[in-house]
Amino acid sequence: MTEVVAQPWNKRLAIVLFALYAASVVYIVFCVLAGIATPHWVLTSTTLLFFGFAVTHAAEQLGARSMLVFLGVSFFVSFGFETVGVLTGVIYGPYYYTDKLGPKLGVVPFLIPLAWFMMMYASYAIVRAICGETRKTLFWTLWFALLGAMTMTAWDLGMDPQMVRQGHWVWTAGGAYFGIPVHNFLGWLLTTFVVFLLYRWYENTQAPRGWQFDEPFALLPIAAYAAQGLATIVTDAAIGMRAPALIAFFAMGAFLLSAVSRLASKS
């Protein structure tokens, strides 16, 4: 008789949270295609489910301590940059958040730092798939951080116009990219580059912990990135923003296909 080995609780929880997140994405896409208004609580719960999945998956894949470091760096850097950005307009351009995203920590909705982490973790997984096990050198540390920042910012190319159209935040001076300043995307690159750079420096001080993509569990963050991209692209197209949808399709798709192609070549 084959002995069944029980999975760690955080691994089981990560799988459950991913399944619930994926179901939420499917429901959102269905509502969009059917022309049904998606309840606001569904959008909020989808973010929380993705965040919960990212935390539990990272705890299993990277280890609890590394997950906490990644989460802490991501939360405080993104919250700090967002706060300075809203108050001064220096980092992303002049903007402010409306009340649609719920309670705020100062001038930044509480959901925002959570959303930064969930997508940065998914972007981190994609870069790990593309680059493999990199060396602990300055070049690889900088390259990993830059590639992660670009993978993450690719999402904003489709997400930001959509959220502005739906009234979640307002760009007070407009901008060249569908009413958004190009400055914003440079700010996204800077924010995520700093997070990835700091985390990679920490990771370089730790014993190597490989990320083997030969089991489905390890692939879930990449699937989450794809699901989030799908929801963004479909919603953009459905509300008449086909150009941002097309741009996001190629931008996010380039990193996603690179990761898939690299993994397929190793199988």
pLDDT of 173-221, one tens digit each?
Answer: 999 999 999 999 999 999 999 999 999 999 999 887 777 888 899 999 9
How far apart are alpha carbons 174 and 177 in whole angstroms?
Answer: 9
* Domain, as residue range, for 75: 9-266
Beta carbons of 229 and 222 less than 8 angstroms apart: no
CA-based nearest residue to 222, from 265, 258, 175: 258
Q: At what angle do helices 9-34 and 40-61 cross, to 10 degrees?
A: 150
**What count of other Cβ atoms lies within 10 Å of the Cβ of residue 38?**
16
Say if 207 falls within a structural domain. yes
Whole-prediction pTM: 0.94
Say if 59 falls within a structural domain. yes
Question: How many independent structural domains does the chain possess?
Answer: 1
Say if 3 falls within a structural domain. no
Say if 1 falls within a structural domain. no
pLDDT category, 36, cuts 50, 70, 90? Answer: confident
pLDDT above 90: percentage of residues in the chain: 84
Say if 170 falls within a structural domain. yes
Say if 169 falls within a structural domain. yes
Say if 2 falls within a structural domain. no
The residue to which tokens 């993450």 are assigned: 152
